[in-house]
Structure 1
Amino acid sequence: MPPATAIPPEWLRPPDLAAARAAQAALAARVIRQDAHGPVRLLGGVDISSNRFDPEDMVYAAVVVLSLPDLAVVGQAVAAARAAMPYIPGFLGFREVPALLEAWEGLAVKPDLVLVDGHGIAHPRGLGIAAHLGVLLDVPSIGVAKSLLVGAPAWPVGEAPGAEAPILWRGERLGTALRTRRGSRPLYLSVGHRVSEAAAVAWVRRAGAGYRLPEPTRRAHEAANAFRRRRMAAGQAGA
């Protein structure tokens, strides 16, 4: 990760939406949509947890590291930060990335590629949180979202696990809708940074463990929620 002083402040905490849009445009121009990484021995999972009723508007971030091929957790770090921007669809990266960067710095061992709960380039300005985080860290990243932000599958995704369909928007392919478990809604995958579309799908398939979510983001989801509950319980006990 570049030193914090080397990251323009508006790439993390823009003063207004105009500055946020400009930051997204600048960062989106740096996204690499091809495979540009070395061997992957450790997979990362990234997620955040928050409570919309929290008067402090805190964001609780977790990054977990899993070994391959067994998908065992070998590292984890968490961090909390007050959100720098209100909840505005399309700008969630600015709420979540500062806490995620802090958690990343707390890892004893860094993953070679990260799966992020959220979108990559499947975003109105090509910069969902997976792309935002991937570019800032210059780490290969994949967006694994649970709902669509833009676009739609080119055809209905089959019910069988492994069925997929391209996500199209304005004539461009932005990602892939993938059914990971029968009876569950598809996931929506897109390139974050330094990973091709085909590789993004292959990595999510490889990281499956029988759940709807791939194991890295599933474990990060659990870790972020557990961290939030601990912090809130500690705050209530100290009140």
Structure 2
Amino acid sequence: MRHRNHVIDRPDHWLAPHDLRAAGVAQREIAEAAEDADRFGTIATIAGVDTSMKWRDSRGPIHAAAAPIGWPRAAPRPAASVSMIPAIPYIPGYLGFREAPAIIQAVDRLERRPDLLIVDGHGRPHPRRCGIAVHVGVLLDIPSIGCAKSILCGEVEGELGPNVGDRAPIVDRGELVGYAVRTRPKTTPVYIGSGHRISLDTAVDWILKLSDGRRLPLPIRLAHDAANAARREYEAAAQ
């Protein structure tokens, strides 16, 4: 039995704003609603979420996947995916409005509601402190962490050491918004930010626990594979 949709009761423009001005207002409101302190119970299911789309196709379909693992054994469970044409094209800084509807549907299709989301994308390191991890975490009211492969805003201050666990702060306009973290020796870091109901230090701890010697944490790797599989299936069916 799949769980029912758990999107919380929020203003319509938090998911479907009618223009960019409304989108900016929504992002600031969502950022204000996000909690940056730890508020979660037992973590038994962790889901990675990621999306895939055809290269350089900013208006075509998006393919979202949620890939859960059991914890602490890290045993993969069946993933869920959704393919849909977003209401808006890709606009830098407003990715949440393009990806969140599909991600929410994918999470809703899981057999069990996750206790923690690991999102391939930014959390608070965002110009309006509302990266996709914040956006989805608040709308679903699920603890969430953003783990991105590149920096979006702010600057990494200080030297980042070469060893696993080394970190350096990401500072934007004088505010600590995340950390650049080495998850694999001498490899490009990932950029971690809290999303919702998770403190920044706890977010870093979780990403390190889940990375198991790889640059990206296991849930994101599984979600990446599932989203790409959904895209290939969609494209094959369209031929």
For this structure pair, what is the TM-score category when the shorter chain's length is used for normalisation?
over 0.9
Letter in 2 for 1:84: A
Q: CA deviation at 1:164?
A: 0.9
Q: CA deviation at 1:74?
A: 1.7
Aligned counterpart for 1:139 among listed residues 137, 142, 149 = 142
**Alignment RMSD:** 1.5
* Partner residue, 1:68: 71
SS in 2 for 1:75: coil
Q: What pairs with 1:68-217 in structure 2 (closer than 5 Å)?
A: 68-217=71-220
For structure 1, the 5+ residue unaligned runs are none
- Gap change, CA 1:53 and 1:145, over 3 Å in 2: closer
* Partner residue, 1:32: 35
| Residues 119, 190 of structure 1: 8 Å contact kept | yes
In structure 2, how many angstroms separate the alpha carbons of the residues matched to 1:56 and 1:90? 16
| Residues 119, 189 of structure 1: 8 Å contact kept | yes
Letter in 1 for 2:116: L
* Partner residue, 2:232: 229
* Partner residue, 1:47: 50
SS in 2 for 1:191: strand
In structure 1, how many angstroms separate the alpha carbons of the residues matched to 2:51 and 2:40? 25
In structure 2, how many angstroms separate the alpha carbons of the residues matched to 1:52 and 1:209? 29
In structure 1, how many angstroms separate the alpha carbons of the residues matched to 2:105 and 2:86? 13
| Residues 145, 188 of structure 1: 8 Å contact kept | yes
Letter in 2 for 1:165: A
| Residues 122, 133 of structure 2: 8 Å contact kept | yes
In structure 2, how many angstroms separate the alpha carbons of the residues matched to 1:184 and 1:3? 37
Letter in 2 for 1:80: S
Q: CA deviation at 1:26?
A: 1.2
1:9 aligns with 2:12: yes
Q: CA deviation at 1:120?
A: 0.7
For structure 2, the 5+ residue unaligned runs are none
SS in 1 for 2:211: coil
Q: CA deviation at 1:183?
A: 3.8
Letter in 2 for 1:34: A
| Residues 81, 98 of structure 1: 8 Å contact kept | no
* Partner residue, 1:19: 22
- Gap change, CA 1:20 and 1:179, over 3 Å in 2: same
TM-score normalised by L of structure 2: 0.94
Letter in 2 for 1:112: D
SS in 2 for 1:73: coil
Deviations, residues 18-65 of structure 1 (Å, cap 9, x unaligned): 010011111111000000111111111010001144486111000011
Deviations, residues 192-217 of structure 1 (Å, cap 9, x unaligned): 00001110000001111221100011
Letter in 2 for 1:13: A
The count of corresponding residues between Structure 1 and Structure 2 is 235
Q: CA deviation at 1:8?
A: 2.7
In structure 2, how many angstroms separate the alpha carbons of the residues matched to 1:16 and 1:56? 16
Divergent runs of 4+, >6 A: none
Q: CA deviation at 1:88?
A: 1.2
SS in 1 for 2:78: strand
